[in-house]
Copies of this chain bind each other. A is one copy, B any other.
Amino acid sequence: MRTILLTWFSRQFLGLQRKLEVAWKNTMENSRKYSKKRSAPKTPRVIVLRWGHRPYRDARLTTHVALIARALGASGLILSDIEDENIKTTVEKVTRNWGNDFSFEMGTPWKKVVKNWKAKGGIVVHLTAYGENIQASKVLRLIKESRKEILVIVGSQKVPREFFLEDFSDFNVAIGNQPHSECASLAVFLDRLFEGEELKKNFEHARMRIIPQKRGKKIVQHL
């Protein structure tokens, strides 16, 4: 009787041990994934470089690009190679009314911006439909893991071939490989980079603030 019991216990013991090993492995793997996700730096400093702006034709789209950069967590915009006082005025007005610091620079040649950025240890991400698919590749993880400041380049017209070269871009990233819009690409890239946290961030020194509502509009003004 004792021998039977002993054999039964041994079998149970070995079976349990195996199951426990599998469960333990799974648990460890999950917790590793979780800690990886948590440890990614959520707020690298990002500056957006808008290339190829044509003052009249691109006025509204470049304004959208600037407002998207600001609202979705970037720290500033560089309008390269050209000056446009209208864009500057609009961006500064929005920042004055709606808060937070947001730098605006214009006229600097794009090659100089990129060279300076890299010299300071930052990386360059070029958003293009031809690049590595943000959903189907590990490109976003690599960018996050670099833990470096990011210069995001968005073009307007067809961009020079140099943008794709190692001398200039560290990553060529596609927000899907279909033709669409630099506005959409910038928005989705920033939303994924900051993991959504940018959308509930508090904008300091704001004169105007929207209080989210299910119905209607509510604005608080600090005059």
Q: Which residues of chain A have a CB within 8 Å of any CB of chain B? A: 2, 5-6, 9-10, 12-13, 16-17, 19-20, 23-24, 26-27, 30, 60-61, 64, 67-68, 70-72, 94, 98, 129-137, 161, 164-166, 172, 174-181, 183-188, 191-192, 196-200, 203, 209-218
Contacts and interface: CB of A to CB of B under 8 A. Distances in A.
Given A6-B9, A9-B13, A181 B64 contact: yes
Given A164-B216, A183-B183, A6 B17 contact: no
Number of copies of this kind of chain in the complex: 2
Given A10-B9, A60-B61, A200 B133 contact: yes
Contact of A181 (B68, B161, B180): B68
A83 to B, nearest CB: 22
A218 B184 contact: no
Contacts of A178: 67, 70-71, 98, 203, 210
B132 A180 contact: no
Contacts of A16: 13, 16-17, 20
Contacts of A164: 215-217
Contacts of A27: 23, 26-27
Nearest to A213: B130
Given A5-B6, A12-B13, A172-B213, A136 B200 contact: yes
Nearest to A219: B130
18 contacts: A5-B6, A9-B9, A13-B13, A16-B17, A16-B20, A30-B30, A68-B183, A70-B180, A72-B180, A129-B210, A132-B213, A133-B199, A133-B212, A172-B215, A177-B212, A178-B210, A184-B184, A188-B191
